[in-house]
Amino acid sequence: MEPKIKIAQVLFFKRTNPPVFIISAIIMLVFIIAVTLFNKISKKIFDSIQLIIIEKFSWIFTVSTVLFLILVLFLLLSRFGSIRLSSADEKPEFGYVTWFAMMFSAGMGIGLVFWSIAEPIKHFIALPPMESGATTPVGQAIGITFFHWGLHAWAIYMIVGLSLAYFSFRKGLPLTIRSCFHPLLGNKIYGRWGHCIDIFAVVGTMFGVATSLGLGAMQINSGLNFIGEYPETKLIQIALISLITLFATISLVLGLEKGISRLSYFNVILSVMLLAFVFIIGPTLFIMNTFGEGIKNYFSNIVYFSYWSEWIATTDWKANWTIFYWGWWIAWAPFVGLFIARISKGRTIREFILGGLFAPALATFIWLSVFGGTALYLESVQSAPISEAVSTNLSTSLFKTLAYLPLSQVTTVLSTLVIITFFVTSSDSGSLVIDILTSGGDQDPPKNQRIFWAITEGVIASVLVLAGGLNALQTAAIASGFPLALIMIGMCFALLKELNKEIKNF
């Protein structure tokens, strides 16, 4: 080992990949200092970056997400599906329930709770001018929401997760993004090219997770305001980020088995309780009709939605909805993909896709139908001012909706707990993934490094909240997702090349 690498590892941490760790940490530090000292200028820069990407390069997000979904479906139905993501006789580490719980908590988390009411209501009160064939405004609103949270989103995660699991557990390469490019770059993945790929992945993951932490803090603050009249301020939101980061750090220190898996399981139990409660005491028949109409509208228009959002929708609509979501999912892809890969060792490609694409998407549709359907019922049938609450403050929409149902204080407390557990699982899973990437693929990196990245996530989320709240969070997701979209396209070519080679040699 070169002397300068030894010095870097002594000054920072013992088991790191110094170029990736140090450069990533410097980028984060520069961002934190710049945004803190030049808040107003930073906001203008965020707005300019978002506008340039939306106007000039949003088509890259649209085309790439469609290609990812097509590739995942092809792998599911092809002869590649029988390939096991490990040695031939290795069994999965986790059972189906725990595996699904961790995957769902990491993949959707806070964002699903934040937008499950706000998005359907937004589309309902201001339907975009599209010819989807939906029979009612409710069906169109929920169909568009399904589109943003459905198969496209999970296909993005599947590409990264499948590539990482295959090259790491099947080919014996390190569990890092760079390993996915071995068929294209060869041993250059261990040099500068590999460092650059992992650095982009670390930065994208950091901002993707920070976006969710910021959204979670805003919504927890709204819940506390509803329960106990706590004011909704950025100071309280930053305090919440700090507190939840502490809980996430404790979960990280406990490890994957004792910390993250148990917390994810607990999170799913709380979510099912809340979901069942709202379904039973809410407008049950309306919710079921909403689910059926949403499924019909989504699957009958999935192709139309895919190209409409890019070539027909207005710039503002794309920036606030489809491109924001695609950028956010892609920014999350290294984090969720690596985490899913880490917990999916021993499964076949077909099993991986069936469990990681359709099951979470179905669970997401059910969640959106229950909460979004309840809000749409209150708005369209009972003339409750849910849209007014959404327009005033997105973060309060969930609690304003629950207030119209029996036992609202109980459901508000329960939903706040769900948000907190989603918050913690997102933070600790993200920190673990970033630590794995910066330690060269070490699947059990040192605890002090996990703590470092957990704290860094909390600081960046706080800075984004200060820099402009929701707009800054959306811009961070889009900007960090753009280079990762290009990286993922290369990842697809590399995966197909290696799979085809293996089948021929089989």
What is the tens place of the pLDDT at every residue in 226-245? 776 677 788 888 888 888 77
State pLDDT tens for residues 146-201: 999 999 999 999 999 999 999 999 988 988 899 999 999 999 999 999 999 999 88
pLDDT at residue number 152: 93
Residue 132 clears pLDDT 50, i.e. is over it? yes
pLDDT at residue number 110: 66
d(CA 150, CA 103): 15
User: What predicted TM-score, i.e. pTM, was given to this entire model?
Assistant: 0.85
Low-confidence winner among 19-23, 39-43, 88-92, 268-272 (lowest mean pLDDT) = 39-43
Both structure tokens of 494: 């590399």
Higher pLDDT, 249 or 341: 341
Residue 292 clears pLDDT 90, i.e. is over it? yes
pLDDT at residue number 6: 44
State pLDDT tens for residues 397-429: 888 898 898 888 888 888 888 877 777 777 777
pLDDT at residue number 108: 64
State pLDDT tens for residues 270-286: 888 999 999 999 999 99
Three-state SS for 325-336 is: HHHHHHHHHHHH
Residue 13 clears pLDDT 60, i.e. is over it? no
- DSSP per-residue codes, 99-128: HHHHHHHHHTTHHHHHHHHHHHHHHHHT--
Residue 133 clears pLDDT 70, i.e. is over it? no
pLDDT at residue number 15: 63
CA contacts within 13 A on the Cβ side of 293: 21
When pLDDT is averaged across residues 127-137 and rounded to a whole number, the result is 73
Domains of the chain: 12-505 (1.20.1740)
When pLDDT is averaged across residues 475-496 and rounded to a whole number, the result is 85
Q: In the predicted model, what is the mean pLDDT of the chain?
A: 82
pLDDT at residue number 103: 74
| Helix and strand counts by DSSP (H, E) for the chain | 23, 0
Name 348's bridge partners: 84
When pLDDT is averaged across residues 86-98 and rounded to a whole number, the result is 79
Share of the chain above pLDDT 90, in %: 26
State pLDDT tens for residues 119-129: 999 999 887 77
pLDDT at residue number 145: 94
Q: Please report where in the chains the tokens 């503002």 appear, as a residue.
A: 316
pLDDT at residue number 311: 78
Q: How confident is the model at residue 465 (pLDDT cuts 50, 70, 90)?
A: confident
pLDDT at residue number 257: 55
d(CA 307, CA 318): 12
Q: How confident is the model at residue 3 (pLDDT cuts 50, 70, 90)?
A: very low
